[in-house]
Amino acid sequence: MLARHGALRGIERDPNTPAPVRRLARIARFGARIPRVPNYATAFQQIGPAAIKLGQALATRPDLVGDEAARDLTRLQDALPPAPFEQIRASVELALEGPLDKFFAEFDPEPVGAASIAQVHRAVTTNGRQVAVKVLRPGIEADFAQALDTYEWAAAQVERMGGEAARLRPRLVIAHFRQWTTRELDLRREAASASELREGMEAESGFYVPEIDWSRSARRVMTLEWIEGIKLTDRQALIDAGHDLKALAETLVRAFLRQAVVDGFFHADLHQGNLFALPDGRLAAIDFGIMGRVDRQARLWLAEILYGLITGNYRRVAEIHFEAQYVPAHHNVEEFATALRAVGEPIRGLPVKDISVGQMLDGLFTITRDFDMPTQPHLLLLQKTMVMEEGVATALDPDINMWETSEPFLREWLRSEFGPETALADELVRNWRTLRKIPELIRRIDHYYPPPGAAPPSPPLPDVVVVQPRRYGSYVFTALLSAALAVAATLLAT
């Protein structure tokens, strides 16, 4: 499908492409009329909804896929063909268990956006509130299940090759992808995620999460506060409206760091189609179907790794990789630190526009191969989101220095986490939990070591041999059965 829409033309022409891959691409497009301009979005759309999610992520990185491909792929974010309104109306009424006019005074039949999993309609509730109504596409569950079955089969075939393919652990990657998409297909889970993120982001005044209308939400329908803003996909409209693009980019970076590092609960689908600039300069997010979680220990490691790369402390970054068991223990920490320095030093302190992302990724991939680092599927969602977030921030402000923007936030958070106040607080919590165990510990001691004058412990029961009465009938039956089996075995042998 990719080949027939011209999406593999770049791979065919790349001199670094292995000859067998180039031949495969030519065979795949054999007999098809290839468009003059590659049609990336249509190719991903026809492959299926799971492929559309990949296309949405690639659209945020023109530095990886090229400006032409990125512009075309942005259509996958919210400009796919919508489902007919009659199907949407029936789905809403079935989910909310009532006619449409019972819940909405107005409901626009034309969607304001249609993506891979759902489409969104503008509406007015019966109490006069402007809302956005998100409705799952009809039959989307079956489409995703079929696609994921295919990916699981393909991953199993690839992993059987062993070597480098096995190190990348494709089956485990697809298993995690199935978990993410399964959650995304239940809009009640998405509503809960939006509510939780809204509470967590109250500390970040520049980032806004809309409020959920729980009375008009169900498994296939979610209603939330209408956002009046400009999508980040429309850079010129943002400029015409007088928005400070540099400030928006910095807000996005800070909001992501607060979600991923401080709270451990982050929006994992931060492409331009899900982000709006509000009239007051704040940044608003929608579409909370894919969310990620990071436990406290992993957040500490993440923050130390990022801060170590910013400050050039490659030794500490290497130590964390060994502590987290991302690198097998038989390798040398100093050698790993040197390898990190070779990748980090050429780009440290540079604005993103001056960084060769291709060379950086090639260097990082070489490190993972040389040091036998297996893929960490539980971190893939975080890594994917970091790549997308950097791409969106760079599109807003090409001169942004991700290191300088992140450093103050990370430094302050690490100081608070590793400072004396936090150490004292953690010690007090541990001591309090230990003190709470003392009463139960004393009761157990009393049980096993009673004080003088208390009733003596019960004597141990003697070992008694249980004598079974003889049953000659059962002996006879067992002997006959054994003889029959022996005769049968002899006949089979001959």
Q: Which amino acid is at 310?
A: I
Q: Are 241 and 194 in contact (CB under 8 A)?
A: no
DSSP 326-387: SS-TTS-HHHHHHHHHHHHTTTTT--GGGS-HHHHHHHHHHHHHHTT----HHHHHHHHHHH
C-alpha 227/C-alpha 45 separation (Å) is: 27
C-alpha 351/C-alpha 254 separation (Å) is: 17
- Tokens 């029936």 belong to 90
Nearest to 1 by CA among 56, 36, 44: 44
Nearest to 76 by CA among 37, 111, 48: 48
Radius of gyration, CA atoms only, the chain: 30
Identify the active-site residue in 78, 263, 269, 287. 269
Token pair of 327 as six digits: 């690198």
Per-residue 3-state assignment (H helix, E strand, C coil) for 260-285? HHHHCEEECCCCHHHEEECCCCCEEE
Nearest to 414 by CA among 299, 337, 493: 299
Phi, psi (deg, nearest 5) at residue 266? -135, 150
Indicate if 269 belongs to the active site: yes
Instruction: Cite the active site residues.
Output: 269
